[in-house]
């Protein structure tokens, strides 16, 4: 989930964090970016149960392996495993 565009953050696998952020948007205490009004509009319409459902959905989304280092070295073998990490995209 998320994109490489910094305006759209990657969602962590922390339910407490996501509920907190949705609540901030819903209470107009977050959203200063040019796109904040979009999340604010959506979050204000969510009930507490719906926020919980959004969090449950986000936790079911697959993690994707994405190289974070020099990809040409990955073929060198397992010892280069440290140049990659599991990240959510």
Distance of CA 46 to the CA centre of its chain: 18
Pairing of strands 64-67, 84-87: antiparallel
Please report the pLDDT score of residue 69 as a whole number. 62
Number of domain units in the chain? 1
Tokens representing 60 are 């079911």
pLDDT in tens, 71-87: 665 555 555 455 445 44
Please report the pLDDT score of residue 2 as a whole number. 47
d(CA 59, CA 72): 31
Q: Quick check: is 80 in a domain?
A: no
Q: Quick check: is 57 in a domain?
A: yes
Smallest Cα–Cα separation from 7: which of 29, 44, 39? Answer: 39
pLDDT in tens, 10-62: 666 688 889 999 999 999 998 888 888 999 999 999 999 999 999 998 888 77
Q: Quick check: is 45 in a domain?
A: yes
Q: Quick check: is 58 in a domain?
A: yes
Structural domain span for residue 20: 15-63
Q: Quick check: is 21 in a domain?
A: yes
Coil, helix or strand at residue 15: helix
pTM for this one?
0.58
Please report the pLDDT score of residue 5 as a whole number. 62
Residue 68 · residue 85 · CB < 8 Å: yes
Please report the pLDDT score of residue 15 as a whole number. 86
Q: Quick check: is 34 in a domain?
A: yes
């Amino acid at each position: 989930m998320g994109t490489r565009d910094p305006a759209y953050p990657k969602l962590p696998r922390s339910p407490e964090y996501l509920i907190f952020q949705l609540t901030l948007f819903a209470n107009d205490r977050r959203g200063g970016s040019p796109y904040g009004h979009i999340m604010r509009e959506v979050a204000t319409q969510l009930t507490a149960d719906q926020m919980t459902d959004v969090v449950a959905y986000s936790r079911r989304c697959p993690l994707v392996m994405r190289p974070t280092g020099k990809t040409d070295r990955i073929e060198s073998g397992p010892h280069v495993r440290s140049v990659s990490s599991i990240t959510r995209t």
